[in-house]
Amino acid sequence: MPKKQSPKPARPTAAAPTPTPAKSAKPDPARKISLVQQAISFAQRRHRHQTRRDGNTPYAAHVVRVAFTIERVFDHHDEATIAAALLHDTIEDTHTDFEDLAEPFGQDVAGLVAALTKNMALPEIDRERAYDLQLARADWRARLIKLADAYDNLCDTETLPDGQADAKRLKDAFDRAHRAITLAETDARTHDTSQRAIDALTALIDAKLKAKAKKKPAK
């Protein structure tokens, strides 16, 4: 979550159109670069006053790393997925609406971002339940982006200053990672990318747990 975010007025969340599944045809490299470049610039502008929890890292670095994770770690190259990864926090954390994304990026990208957006008007417990249900019903690529988001958030615990990487924050990162895996397990039956993503996130969780165990003081 971004640090020092100015409060955003709660508003009803309209049901977003179901994203159109990615086509199997070979993507046009020029179109992909154009769409991704536009998404990077848009995300940078919308997140420009936000930082990560360390108070120093620009928040836009997170969304770029999520997109990087999808392409390089998960080996998934669909331009709509990468663009949506770059934009995945814009509706929830900035003054951006569905229409603000649909016009320049299309209904497909905007629908993926909407699926990754929590309803901040709900109490936290209800919000998280509704969010998981929303993701479970969404296009499988939304759950892939969530896996990448969890992957980066878990990596990002290493950048927190001493004293900030407390037990609760680490536990939250692990819990969110496990939730993302659970939501995507069905996708792994039909999408190799989802299985690669689950394997990568599971390996990262195991590595973090081993590192955490080593840091425990001896009794």
Residues catalogued as catalytic: 92-93
Alpha helices in the chain (DSSP H): 29-46, 60-68, 79-87, 90-93, 98-105, 107-115, 124-137, 140-156, 167-184, 192-215
What are 3's strand-pairing partners?
Answer: 51
- Contacts (Cβ under 8 Å, ≥6 apart) of 40: 64, 86
SS (H, E, C) 5-26: CCCCCCCCCCCCCCCCCCCCCC
Tokens 């939250």 found at: 172
- Contacts (Cβ under 8 Å, ≥6 apart) of 118: 92, 127, 128, 130, 131
